[in-house]
């Protein structure tokens, strides 16, 4: 019955196209669904289904087809099984009814074996898995590129195009190597080609241009996070970018670059310039999930350096390549111990501003387990997986050797510059405190002459107090959705322009005192936080006092009918992010006194007043609010009178005492710094006579001095008194705590550091597993079949517009042997044997005839056009569109306004910015809009840029400030006295590197008659396809 | 210049695909051995031509919108363990979540039952019960298919990305449904982008990823003066000067074809400039409501402060649909997490937010219907997850990913039906549960797309990425 039905299907369906054809109807299905487990790679149950002959051989248990038998064989039984544990294929949907019917029919007619059918090729034979060998060169051309390309052209009866026009060629070279167009003199350079190539390769702009290419492949991304919290990548990652630029300019070997990126902390543990290279691994940092972090590391390390899609083996064996599930976790185990930390750098010691994000084996004992189906919650804890490459590629792998690290690697704070820098910093704090005290004393002396009344500390009756431990809806009306309770504060977590606020439901009295504690943790520009009072029901009228991080001030202002008016009552002073401040207002009638952290700032007469509500204010800021107190202002409290100059503050005796305490504290901290450096040097370097005891004593003394400063802070004073008592006892009895190392390295800049990476007592681990060194050595081994090929292919792509191997990040079995396989291999060998010399490879390609051909089809040999319209044989050059960065850099450069400063922290993209685009901040949420329009690199992964042609690009070139301002600037470079024709010729030459044809000239002259404004003409020229393209 | 059909163009040169023209015009010259771009034609006869995708950011409470649960009122204040429905907390019933932010204050099990914060009732012939916060949408119930059995696997707001792409926030970024539709289908307009986003985004501001930026949404603002990046000259370049420049650009580009014959990029570039010029006019025109009647403006709530913002976006959506935009994605709810994220003050929050969207959304359905557009326009109303049946704090609900509601209407969708159900507490999707990609599959099906045919080599899609068509709601 079933069989009849199947035949019916067969005759009506597939048979319409002829009888069931195994090769057409069955083999492709088996290939797609079954070969992964029953082919050349693996033969589960001893069964191969990759050829009819193999099918007829059956499995380990015998025949599976049951030819000529009444009962269906095992093959069909398993395909049709209703039991999901039995049914094949085990993953995905079952085979379709028509597919099964075809198989059944093929069996019914005796499973005929097609002649000449080949089984699946052995993956060991895959072209990309063979050690590359030099090609046997025909020897007809000096350059091996030409030799191989020409001979293939000749074989196919094709003829190549002549070289491009000299100026076009020079432009091509400059854009290719420097990413900047040549100027008029350079366009007229008549020196030998090789000389020009060498000169450009020696230019520092070469490193900048090619760094951007490698930043694509190695997925450079600046950090991303909320506020100061790093969620993705790392701060200071620009040091890795600068390392790429300088490594290229120095022509460091590509092998050495790989070694430094993967393992500089092991092979050059004290060389910070090399360690910057580990930014490659630091970039994969992901706050929320270690597996995601390592998945990215595994996937992109293998794609970038080997063109292997290791990621396909995360959940199961690779479907195509000889990488099994276990291999994935063996590869992960190489990285399992690595963590990221931020170390001190010379100069500024603040890690947020000047640290280096680098990797190290922070957790050498971390164990890797296989995750069943890639599910991290299903780790198979029975088997600890050791580090290694995929078994198939094991050749050249040497077991990791543990690396003992020098002191300065595991105690970065003990680097000489760190110790000296720290002492200098503490010394500077002492001088600053001295100056401060001196200044106050002088002001006080001058002020005493003028005589001001003393003020008493009296606290009035409370109106309301809120410590923001929970929402008090009776007290507050909340506006905005971005309020959160976190870390003991009520926080506004997204900056808004005063659109989110808390407004009290209770009015404050006419005369009152208000204290507000808060800290600002983020925001875009102003980062202002503070308090409104006298807020009326509409919210349209109030006074407000706020601190501004961006403005560096405390300021008083009024809002009248919804409009803000700023007063001259402003105290200029730095306001820091992430520092808690207490703002205090005392208001009596129209007089207001404002103090910050107990320091009187200014007094002012408010123009008019109506007691109202209070309202927390956050303008363009992320703010944590800790506490607010509103009290009546007792009559005995004396307020400072408003002076003509409200910002001239009044110095109290207390202020002088405070400054004195601060000076003592600074001195104590300096002494402690000195002592702990001495103690460290004695302990770890056996140098000097410092001791842990002295350092402990100095640390106690510094804490004591700090507590004495805290006495002046009303909030802290009670605690401080207790601390002082305890510390004095400790000092007396000689109870010194173990001293802490200098705070010059952190495992993370976030609030909740990664516990796996915390330093142990006495520093970071004193050795590294050596796994990443082993990985780097294996990758750069002469016999590694992939590393050099993949790199050469990337470089070729960026010179020729198309790669030799189309799938630049997948050289596995799905990548067919490329047409120019011999050339790729030859170049790979040359590359390795030259010491992985990239400049040498560039030179080889750029001096070839092949690279210098015209990119036009004009007057092409007919057969070349007809037989190879896709130019797979390189009978002409390919035109390419300039990458996003080259478009913008060229525009600025042509106008003479490109800032050629190299290196340093990433700059915020803006139309007015003049630095090269390479230095633009480039992260998930912070990217240049202009560059994005032109297929800028995807920050997650970009092995190859797109070259789209979309209307948004036309809009950007017509309307963006980058384009319009550049057009104006470029136009200004031309002599205004040039005749129209001279101008057109000069503009064509400068912008397009060629002369206009007569027809073009006529078109331009007629335009200039209608449109005499030359900047408009220039604007048109930079919009031309010939400008956008590298011809 | 005439293109010779034997000339190839790299697949990477996704010509003008934001407007779709390139995919059509140049497909013929794609290299045979390279995977071809889709030809822009549906794979089978479509029932719908376009999608208006409304997404409520933050997580709309399903119990207070489209899936009322009287049991919550009955057991208010009790713990789930004290109700007959204790078993909803059985470990076996809890779908596996992947938690991106461990130790976050949100995304926890909340067991103290929080009563519905609003009443509910029915309208229309279908008699589907909906909450009182959506009276206007309720009046359109006979045109809507409600899906009350959605689930997702991220209990934090990365689920916004998941609802659009089908992949968890911890997975690599993959194209969203809008990008796939843009990629798979040709253009309906010569003047407008095919995929438009209006409103705030946070977790992922890109859509197309490996399909290439040409398939990303173009962001529009409801501002006829400045609706689109670079839509207006940065300085005071006059339109007449720009027109002159455009003429010169296209003539010189055309002349360059003499130097570079048979170069398809030249024509693509020329077209892109003409289209860009037309877009400069067409986009502001689409967002200019002066031609709309007072009645229409009132219908969308443009006369009221609360409904104005969303009403303008939806009126723009209707105008963009009429003018041939394929996929219009509208995001509602400011802030990082999204405004609907009412961990506290749910009553005030949801009441206010639903007032913002209810009338405009119903207006969109009615307006599309009376203009004959609803029959080939799919309207989706979705959110990343629901909210917990239990309370968070005194008066909020936490994130809830095991069961929540979305709805679809229009092109090819059957109106007045409910598909799937949650249990009595609204805890689990128990009947016909749907993962988020089932919505994508349904859209693909109605748009005539077989997503398997769009797969890009090197970017294997998983079974879950495709989802299953929700047959029950297809007309």
Interface predicted TM-score (ipTM) over 0.95: no
| Residues B146 and B237 placed together within one structural domain of the fold | no
Percent of chain A topping pLDDT 90: 68
| Residues B255 and B161 placed together within one structural domain of the fold | no
B7, B34, B254, B259: best to mutate for the A interface, most A CBs within 10 A: B259
Number of domain units in chain A: 5
| Residues A706 and A816 placed together within one structural domain of the fold | no
pLDDT at res. A6: 39
| CB-CB under 8 Å, B58 with A954 | no
| CB-CB under 8 Å, B241 with A951 | no
Q: Which of A114-128, A185-199, A691-705, A959-973 has the lowest mean pLDDT?
A: A114-128
Could you say which of B10, B100, B339 has the minimum Cβ distance to residue A289?
Answer: B100
The boundaries of the domain holding residue A474 are 456-649
Residues of chain B in contact with residue A478, where contact means CB-CB under 8 angstroms, are 345
pLDDT at res. B171: 84
Does position A935 have pLDDT exceeding 70, yes or no?
yes
pLDDT at res. A750: 57
Work out the pLDDT band at A2, boundaries 50, 70, 90: very low
Does position A865 have pLDDT exceeding 60, yes or no?
yes
| CB-CB under 8 Å, A947 with B12 | yes
Work out the pLDDT band at A7, boundaries 50, 70, 90: very low
Q: Is residue B205 part of a domain?
A: yes
Q: Is residue A540 part of a domain?
A: yes
Q: Are B368 and B357 in contact (CB under 8 A)?
A: no
Residue A39: helix, strand or coil by DSSP? coil
Does position A586 have pLDDT exceeding 50, yes or no?
yes
| CB-CB under 8 Å, A948 with B14 | yes
pLDDT at res. B81: 93
Burial tier of B102 (Cβ tally within 10 Å: 0-12, 13-18, 19+): exposed
Does position A475 have pLDDT exceeding 60, yes or no?
yes
| Residues B46 and B111 placed together within one structural domain of the fold | yes
pLDDT at res. B29: 33
Q: Which of A3-7, A93-97, A891-895 has the lowest mean pLDDT?
A: A3-7
Å between A962 CA and nearest CA of chain B: 9
Residue B96 sits in a domain of what CATH number? 3.40.720
Q: pLDDT tens across B248-294, in order?
A: 999 999 999 999 999 989 988 998 999 899 998 899 999 999 999 99
Give the span between the Cα atoms of B348 and B133, in whole angstroms.
11
| Residues A819 and A888 placed together within one structural domain of the fold | no
Q: What is the mean pLDDT of residues A385-390?
A: 97
| Residues A898 and A806 placed together within one structural domain of the fold | no
Does position B77 have pLDDT exceeding 90, yes or no?
yes
Number of domain units in chain B: 2
Residue in this structure with the two tokens 């597939």, named with its chain if needed: A14
pLDDT at res. B74: 96
DSSP A251-285: T--HHHHHHHHHHHHHHSTT-HHHHGGGHHHHTT-
Å between B352 CA and nearest CA of chain A: 12
Mean pLDDT of chain B: 88
Q: Is residue B428 part of a domain?
A: yes
Last residue of a domain, one of A855, A873, A900: A855
Could you say which of A292, A959, A1020 has the minimum Cβ distance to residue B230?
Answer: A959
Work out the pLDDT band at B103, boundaries 50, 70, 90: low
DSSP A799-859: HHSS-SSSSTT--STTSPPPTTHHHHHHHHHHHHHTTS-HHHHHHHHHTSHHHHB-S--TT
Q: Which of A245-249, A449-453, A781-785, B381-385 has the lowest mean pLDDT?
A: A449-453
| Pairing state between β A563-572 and A580-588 | unpaired
Lookup: tokens for A740: 């802490």
Å between B124 CA and nearest CA of chain A: 35
| CB-CB under 8 Å, B230 with A956 | yes
| Residues A493 and A642 placed together within one structural domain of the fold | yes
Q: What is the mean pLDDT of residues A262-282?
A: 97
Give the span between the Cα atoms of A14 and A553, in whole angstroms.
81
pLDDT at res. A154: 96
Does position A329 have pLDDT exceeding 80, yes or no?
yes
| Residues B347 and B199 placed together within one structural domain of the fold | yes
Give the span between the Cα atoms of A672 and A402, in whole angstroms.
36
| CB-CB under 8 Å, A377 with B230 | no
Neighbours of A37 (CB within 10 A): 21
| Residues A1022 and A893 placed together within one structural domain of the fold | yes
| CB-CB under 8 Å, A226 with B336 | yes
pLDDT at res. A448: 65
Burial tier of B408 (Cβ tally within 10 Å: 0-12, 13-18, 19+): buried
Q: pLDDT tens across A952-1003, in order?
A: 999 999 999 999 999 999 999 999 999 999 999 999 999 999 999 999 999 9
Work out the pLDDT band at A753, boundaries 50, 70, 90: low
Q: Looking at chain B, which residue has its C-alpha nearest residue A931?
A: B213
| Residues A893 and A840 placed together within one structural domain of the fold | no
| CB-CB under 8 Å, B273 with A911 | no
Work out the pLDDT band at A754, boundaries 50, 70, 90: low
The boundaries of the domain holding residue B282 are 227-286
Rg (CA), chain B: 24
Q: Are B411 and B446 in contact (CB under 8 A)?
A: yes
Does position A202 have pLDDT exceeding 80, yes or no?
yes
Q: Are B465 and B167 in contact (CB under 8 A)?
A: yes
As beta bridge partners, residue A112 has none
pLDDT at res. A649: 56
Could you say which of A288, A964, A1026 has the minimum Cβ distance to residue B235?
Answer: A964
A481, A754, A756, A932: best to mutate for the B interface, most B CBs within 10 A: A481
Percent of chain A topping pLDDT 70: 95
Residue A399: helix, strand or coil by DSSP? coil
Residues of chain B in contact with residue A801, where contact means CB-CB under 8 angstroms, are 10
pLDDT at res. A450: 53
Could you say which of A929, A949, A965 has the minimum Cβ distance to residue B15?
Answer: A949
pLDDT at res. B31: 32
Give the span between the Cα atoms of A209 and A205, in whole angstroms.
6
Does position A224 have pLDDT exceeding 50, yes or no?
yes
pLDDT at res. B310: 97
Neighbours of A181 (CB within 10 A): 24
Residues 6 or more apart whose Cβ sits within 8 Å of residue A474: A505
| Residues A645 and A663 placed together within one structural domain of the fold | no
B273, B278, B351: best to mutate for the A interface, most A CBs within 10 A: B273
Closest to A176 (Cα-Cα) out of A697, A814, A886: A886
Q: What is the mean pLDDT of residues A126-143?
A: 95
Q: Is residue A1016 part of a domain?
A: yes
* Cα torsion through A712, A617, B107, A381, rounded to 10: -50
| Residues B85 and B114 placed together within one structural domain of the fold | yes
| Residues A694 and A830 placed together within one structural domain of the fold | no
CA atoms within 13 A on the CB side of B289: 20
| Residues B97 and B218 placed together within one structural domain of the fold | yes
Residue in this structure with the two tokens 């079949």, named with its chain if needed: A785
Work out the pLDDT band at B20, boundaries 50, 70, 90: very low
Looking at per-residue pLDDT, the higher value among A645 and A207 belongs to A207
Closest to A572 (Cα-Cα) out of A547, A553, A557, A559: A553
| Residues B204 and B122 placed together within one structural domain of the fold | yes
Work out the pLDDT band at A456, boundaries 50, 70, 90: low
Chain pair A-B, CB pairs under 8 angstroms? 229
Q: What is the mean pLDDT of residues A201-207?
A: 98
Q: Which of A995-1009, B220-234, B328-342 has the highest mean pLDDT?
A: A995-1009
| Residues B370 and B388 placed together within one structural domain of the fold | yes
Q: Is residue B463 part of a domain?
A: no
Q: Is residue B7 part of a domain?
A: no
Lookup: tokens for B467: 């989802």
Looking at per-residue pLDDT, the higher value among A289 and A256 belongs to A256
Percent of chain B topping pLDDT 90: 69
Closest to B460 (Cα-Cα) out of B95, B198, B189, B210: B210
Q: pLDDT tens across B359-372, in order?
A: 999 999 999 999 99
Residues of chain B in contact with residue A480, where contact means CB-CB under 8 angstroms, are 335
| CB-CB under 8 Å, B173 with A377 | no
pLDDT at res. B322: 96
Q: What angle do CA B214, B217, B223 make, to 5 degrees?
A: 125
pLDDT at res. B190: 83
pLDDT at res. A451: 44
| Residues A586 and A689 placed together within one structural domain of the fold | no
| Residues B79 and B209 placed together within one structural domain of the fold | yes
Q: Which of A278-282, A599-603, A663-667, A684-688 has the lowest mean pLDDT?
A: A599-603
Does position A656 have pLDDT exceeding 50, yes or no?
yes
Work out the pLDDT band at A494, boundaries 50, 70, 90: confident
Q: Is residue A360 part of a domain?
A: no
Does position B8 have pLDDT exceeding 70, yes or no?
no
| Residues A843 and A977 placed together within one structural domain of the fold | no
Looking at per-residue pLDDT, the higher value among A525 and A254 belongs to A254
| Residues B201 and B261 placed together within one structural domain of the fold | no
Å between A945 CA and nearest CA of chain B: 8
Q: Which of A392-396, A493-497, A708-712, A844-848 has the lowest mean pLDDT?
A: A493-497
Looking at per-residue pLDDT, the higher value among A842 and A104 belongs to A842
Does position A846 have pLDDT exceeding 70, yes or no?
yes
Q: Which of A117-121, A758-762, A766-770, B192-196 has the highest mean pLDDT?
A: A766-770
Rg (CA), chain A: 37
Q: Is residue A957 part of a domain?
A: yes
pLDDT at res. A447: 65
A447-480 in b/e form (b: 16+ CB < 10 A) is beeeeeeebeeeebeebbebebeebeeeebebeb
Residues of chain B in contact with residue A956, where contact means CB-CB under 8 angstroms, are 229-230
Q: Looking at chain B, which residue has its C-alpha nearest residue A954?
A: B273
Q: Is residue B10 part of a domain?
A: no
Work out the pLDDT band at A924, boundaries 50, 70, 90: confident
| CB-CB under 8 Å, B460 with A951 | no
| Residues A700 and A577 placed together within one structural domain of the fold | no
What is the separation, in whole angstroms, between the first and last Cα of chain B?
A: 47
Give the span between the Cα atoms of B91 and A753, in whole angstroms.
31
Closest to A906 (Cα-Cα) out of A892, A926, A884: A926
Q: Is residue A970 part of a domain?
A: yes
Mean pLDDT of chain A: 91
| Residues A185 and A149 placed together within one structural domain of the fold | no
Residue in this structure with the two tokens 């926890």, named with its chain if needed: B108
pTM of the predicted model as reported, rounded to 2 decimal places: 0.78
> How many residues would you count in chain B?
475
Lookup: tokens for B316: 């723009």
Å between B129 CA and nearest CA of chain A: 29
| CB-CB under 8 Å, A911 with B234 | yes
Q: Are A773 and A372 in contact (CB under 8 A)?
A: no
Q: Are A223 and A235 in contact (CB under 8 A)?
A: yes
Q: Which of A15-29, A341-355, B237-251, B315-329 has the highest mean pLDDT?
A: B315-329
Q: Is residue A331 part of a domain?
A: no
| Residues B163 and B96 placed together within one structural domain of the fold | yes
| Residues B274 and B384 placed together within one structural domain of the fold | no
| CB-CB under 8 Å, A866 with B230 | no
């Amino acid at each position: 019955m079933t069989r009849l039905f199947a035949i019916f299907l067969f005759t009506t369906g597939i048979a319409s196209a002829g009888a069931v054809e195994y090769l057409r109807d069955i083999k492709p299905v088996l290939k797609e669904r079954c070969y992964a487990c029953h082919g050349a790679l693996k033969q589960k149950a001893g069964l191969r289904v990759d050829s009819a002959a193999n099918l007829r051989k059956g499995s380990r248990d015998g025949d599976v087809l049951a030819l000529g038998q009444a009962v269906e064989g095992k093959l069909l039984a398993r395909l049709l099984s209703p039991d999901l544990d039995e049914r094949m294929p085990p993953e995905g949907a079952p085979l379709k009814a028509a597919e099964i019917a075809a198989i059944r029919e093929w069996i019914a007619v005796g499973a005929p074996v097609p002649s000449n059918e080949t089984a699946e090729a052995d993956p060991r034979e895959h072209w990309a898995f063979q050690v590359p060998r030099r090609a046997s060169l025909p020897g007809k051309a000096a350059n091996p590129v030409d030799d191989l390309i020409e001979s293939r052209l000749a074989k196919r009866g094709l003829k190549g195009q002549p070289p491009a026009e000299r100026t076009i060629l020079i432009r091509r070279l400059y854009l290719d190597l420097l990413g900047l167009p040549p100027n008029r003199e350079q366009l007229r350079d008549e020196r030998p080609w090789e000389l020009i190539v060498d000169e450009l390769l020696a230019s520092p702009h070469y490193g900048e241009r090619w760094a951007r290419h490698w930043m694509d492949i190695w997925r450079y991304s600046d950090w991303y996070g909320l506020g100061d919290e790093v969620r993705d990548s790392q701060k200071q990652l620009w040091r890795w970018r600068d390392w790429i630029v300088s490594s290229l300019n120095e022509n460091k070997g590509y092998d050495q670059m790989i070694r430094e990126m993967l393992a500089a902390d092991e092979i050059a543990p004290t060389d910070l310039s090399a360690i910057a290279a580990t930014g490659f691994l630091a970039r994969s940092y992901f706050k929320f999930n270690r597996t995601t972090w390592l998945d990215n590391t595994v996937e992109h390390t293998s794609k970038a350096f080997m063109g292997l899609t290791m990621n396909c083996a995360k959940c199961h064996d690779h479907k195509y390549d000889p990488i099994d599930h276990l291999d994935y976790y063996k590869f992960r185990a190489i990285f399992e111990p690595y963590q990221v930390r931020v170390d001190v750098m010379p100069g500024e010691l603040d890690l947020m501003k000047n640290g280096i994000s680098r990797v190290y084996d922070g957790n050498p004992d971390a164990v890797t387990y296989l995750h069943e189906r890639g599910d991290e919650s299903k780790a198979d804890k029975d088997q600890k997986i050791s580090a290694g490459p995929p078994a198939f590629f094991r050749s050249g792998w040497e077991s990791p050797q543990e690396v003992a690290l020098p002191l300065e690697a595991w105690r970065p704070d003990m680097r000489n510059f760190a110790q000296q820098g720290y002492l200098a910093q503490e010394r500077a704090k002492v001088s600053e405190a001295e100056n401060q005290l001196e200044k106050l004393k002088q002001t006080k002396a001058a002020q005493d002459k003028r005589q001001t009344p003393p003020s008493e500390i009296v606290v009035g009756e409370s109106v309301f107090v809120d410590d923001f431990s929970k929402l008090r809806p009776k007290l507050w009306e909340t506006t905005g959705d971005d309020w959160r309770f976190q870390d003991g504060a009520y926080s506004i977590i997204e900056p808004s322009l005063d659109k989110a606020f808390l407004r009290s439901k209770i009015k404050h009295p006419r005369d009152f005192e208000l204290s507000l504690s808060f800290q600002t943790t983020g925001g875009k520009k102003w980062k202002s936080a503070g308090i409104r009072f006298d807020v009326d029901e509409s919210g349209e009228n109030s006074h407000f006092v706020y601190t501004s991080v961006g403005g560096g001030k405390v300021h008083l202002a009024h809002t009248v009918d919804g409009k803000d008016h700023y007063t001259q009552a402003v105290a200029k002073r730095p306001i820091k992010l992430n520092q808690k401040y207490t703002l205090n207002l005392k208001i009596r009638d129209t007089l207001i006194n404002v103090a910050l952290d107990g320091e009187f700032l200014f007094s002012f007469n408010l123009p008019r007043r109506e007691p109202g509500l209070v309202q927390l204010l956050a303008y363009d800021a992320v703010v944590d609010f800790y506490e607010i107190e509103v009290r009546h202002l007792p009559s005995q409290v004396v307020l400072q009178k408003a002076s003509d100059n409200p910002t001239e503050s009044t110095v109290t005796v207390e202020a002088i005492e405070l400054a004195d305490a601060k000076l003592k504290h600074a001195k104590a901290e300096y002494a402690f710094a000195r002592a702990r450096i001495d103690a460290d040097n004695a302990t770890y370097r056996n140098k000097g006579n410092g001791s842990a005891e002295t350092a402990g004593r100095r640390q106690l003394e510094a804490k004591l001095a700090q507590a004495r400063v805290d006495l002046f802070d009303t909030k802290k004073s009670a605690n401080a008194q207790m601390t002082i008592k305890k510390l004095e006892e400790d000092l007396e009895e000689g109870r010194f705590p173990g001293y802490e190392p200098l705070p010059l390295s952190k495992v993370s800049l976030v609030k909740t550091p990664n516990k796996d990476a915390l330093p142990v007592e006495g520093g970071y681990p004193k050795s590294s597993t050596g796994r990443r060194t082993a990985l780097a050595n294996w990758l750069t081994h002469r016999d590694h079949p992939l590393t050099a090929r993949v790199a050469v292919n990337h470089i070729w792509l960026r010179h020729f517009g198309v790669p030799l191997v189309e799938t630049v990040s997948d050289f596995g079995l799905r990548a067919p042997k490329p047409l120019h396989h011999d050339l790729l291999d030859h170049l790979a060998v040359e590359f390795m044997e030259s010491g992985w010399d990239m400049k040498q490879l560039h030179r080889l390609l750029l001096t070839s005839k092949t690279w210098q051909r015209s990119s036009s089809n004009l007057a092409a040999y007919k057969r070349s056009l007809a037989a190879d319209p896709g130019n797979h044989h390189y009978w002409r050059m390919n035109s390419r569109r300039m990458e996003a960065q080259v478009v913008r850099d060229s525009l600025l450069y042509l106008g003479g306004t490109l800032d050629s400063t190299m290196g340093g922290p990433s700059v915020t993209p803006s139309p007015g910015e003049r630095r090269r685009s390479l230095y633009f901040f480039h992260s998930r949420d912070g990217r240049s809009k202009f560059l994005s329009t032109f297929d800028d690199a995807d920050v997650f992964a970009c092995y190859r840029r797109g070259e789209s042609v979309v209307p948004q690009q036309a809009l950007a070139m017509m309307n963006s400030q980058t384009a319009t301002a550049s057009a104006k600037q470029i136009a200004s470079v031309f002599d205004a006295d040039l005749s129209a024709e001279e101008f057109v010729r000069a503009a064509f030459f400068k912008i397009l590197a060629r002369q206009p044809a007569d027809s073009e000239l006529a078109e331009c002259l007629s335009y200039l008659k209608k449109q005499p404004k030359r900047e408009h003409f220039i604007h048109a020229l930079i919009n031309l396809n010939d400008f956008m393209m590298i011809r | 210049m005439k293109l010779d059909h034997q000339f190839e163009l790299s697949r990477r040169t996704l010509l003008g695909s934001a407007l779709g023209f390139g995919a059509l015009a140049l497909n013929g010259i794609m290299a045979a051995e390279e995977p071809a771009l889709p030809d822009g034609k549906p794979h089978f006869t479509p029932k719908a031509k376009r999608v208006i995708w409304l997404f409520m950011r933050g997580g709309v409470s399903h119990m207070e919108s489209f899936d009322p649960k009287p049991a919550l009122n009955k057991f208010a204040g009790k713990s789930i363990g004290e109700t007959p429905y204790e078993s909803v907390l059985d470990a076996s019933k809890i779908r596996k979540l992947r938690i991106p932010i461990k130790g976050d204050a949100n995304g926890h099990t909340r067991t103290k039952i929080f009563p519905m914060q609003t009443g509910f009732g029915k309208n229309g012939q279908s008699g589907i019960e909906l909450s009182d916060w959506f009276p206007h949408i309720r009046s359109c119930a006979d045109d809507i298919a409600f899906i009350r059995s959605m689930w997702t696997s991220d209990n934090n707001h990365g689920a916004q990305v998941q609802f659009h792409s089908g992949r968890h926030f911890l997975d690599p970024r993959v194209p969203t449904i809008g990008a796939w539709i843009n990629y798979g289908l040709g253009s309906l307009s010569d003047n407008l982008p095919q995929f438009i986003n209006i409103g705030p985004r946070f977790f992922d501001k890109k859509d197309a990823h490996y399909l290439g930026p040409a398939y990303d949404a173009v962001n529009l603002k409801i501002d006829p003066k400045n609706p689109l990046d670079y839509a207006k000259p940065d300085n005071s370049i006059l339109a007449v000067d720009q027109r002159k420049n455009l003429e010169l650009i296209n003539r010189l580009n055309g002349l360059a074809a003499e130097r570079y014959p048979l170069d398809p990029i030249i024509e693509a570039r020329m077209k892109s400039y003409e289209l860009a010029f037309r877009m400069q006019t067409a986009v502001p025109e689409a967002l200019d409501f002066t031609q709309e009647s007072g009645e229409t403006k009132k219908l969308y709530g443009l006369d009221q402060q609360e409904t104005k913002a969303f009403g303008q976006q939806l009126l723009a959506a209707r105008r963009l649909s009429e003018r041939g935009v394929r996929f219009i994605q509208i995001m509602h709810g400011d802030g990082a997490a999204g405004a609907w994220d009412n961990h506290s003050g749910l009553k005030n929050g949801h009441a206010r937010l639903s007032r913002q969207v209810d009338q405009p959304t119903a207006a969109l359905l009615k307006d599309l219907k009376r203009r004959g557009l609803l029959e080939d326009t799919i309207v989706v109303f979705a959110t990343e997850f629901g909210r917990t049946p239990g309370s968070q704090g005194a008066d909020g609900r936490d994130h809830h990913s095991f069961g929540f509601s979305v709805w679809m209407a229009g092109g090819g969708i059957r109106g007045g039906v409910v598909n799937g159900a949650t249990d009595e507490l609204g805890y689990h999707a128990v009947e016909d549960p749907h993962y988020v990609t089932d919505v994508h599959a349904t859209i693909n099906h109605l748009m005539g797309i077989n997503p398997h045919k769009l797969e890009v080599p090197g970017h294997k899609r998983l079974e879950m990425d495709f989802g299953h068509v929700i047959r029950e709601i297809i007309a």
